Amino acid sequence: MNHSRGLIAAAVIGAMAVAGCGDTETTETAAPSETSATPAPAEESTTSTPEVSDGVLTVEAVDYAFKNLPESVPEGTEIKLTNTAKEEIHEMVAFKLPDDETRSADEIVAGADPAGPPPGEFQGVLVAEPGEDGFAPTGPMVLTEPGRYLFLCSVPTGADPAEVIKIGQEGGQASEAEGGPPHLVHGMYGAVTVE
């Protein structure tokens, strides 16, 4: 599947937007279409036992979490993405965090400034349509350097997968698609340490 080089820009800019996950508060009854929600803590998106096989870790994208994301993986691990959701398109944008960054993924996402710099150095993006294996518009996602990596999904909630792909193909941002807040607001993010 060759979908788009434009998804690169869409994912990076969308991820940088860590949109709607600033310092405003919401209640548990907030409507999904609100864009100024505090991100939900990632729920059980990591496991303590790595699931790396032959140097590859396949992460499962569900609504709204990354499953099979261990706490640590060996240096040189390739990340692949499969989307088991029936309707939502998902992405997995990777950033290598600075060595002096000690905050948890929850703290990084909750404290992100949508207008500020990204949380770390962009490492790649994987995109997976509903019920599909992902593709890598930036090339294979291989974690080659030791350190901590943050992964997040910035696709708007309820966005039409075809619209997200089309916007990416045209060089736009995934966040331009119609929909609610980005998936990361619902807890679709996580961190891994590469050893």
pLDDT, residue 24, reads: 33
Quick check: is 114 in a domain? yes
Q: φ, ψ for residue 30 (rounded to 5)?
A: -65, 140
Residue 112: band (very low, low, confident or very high) from pLDDT cuts 50, 70, 90: confident
Whether the per-residue pLDDT at 122 is higher than 50: the answer is yes
Quick check: is 102 in a domain? yes
Q: What percent of the chain has pLDDT over 90?
A: 59
For residue range 31-69, what is the model confidence (pLDDT) as tens digits? 333 344 455 554 444 444 557 999 999 999 999 999 999
Quick check: is 182 in a domain? yes
For residue range 7-22, what is the model confidence (pLDDT) as tens digits? 333 444 444 443 333 3
Whether the per-residue pLDDT at 168 is higher than 90: the answer is no
Q: Determine if the peptide bond prior to 149 is cis (ω within 30°).
A: no
Provide the CATH number for the domain around residue 85.
Answer: 2.60.40.420
Quick check: is 166 in a domain? yes
For residue range 83-99, what is the model confidence (pLDDT) as tens digits? 999 999 999 999 999 99
**Number of domains the chain is built from:** 1
* Average pLDDT of span 168-183: 84
pLDDT, residue 19, reads: 35
pLDDT, residue 120, reads: 95
The domain containing residue 106 runs over which residues?
A: 6-24+36-194
Q: Which residue has the tokens 């990777």?
A: 94
Quick check: is 178 in a domain? yes
Angle at 125 between CA 178 and CA 71, to 5 degrees: 110
Quick check: is 30 in a domain? no
Quick check: is 105 in a domain? yes
**Which is nearest to 67 in space by CA: 42, 87, 89?**
42
Asked if 99 and 77 count as a contact pair (C-beta separation under 8 A), the reply is no
Quick check: is 29 in a domain? no
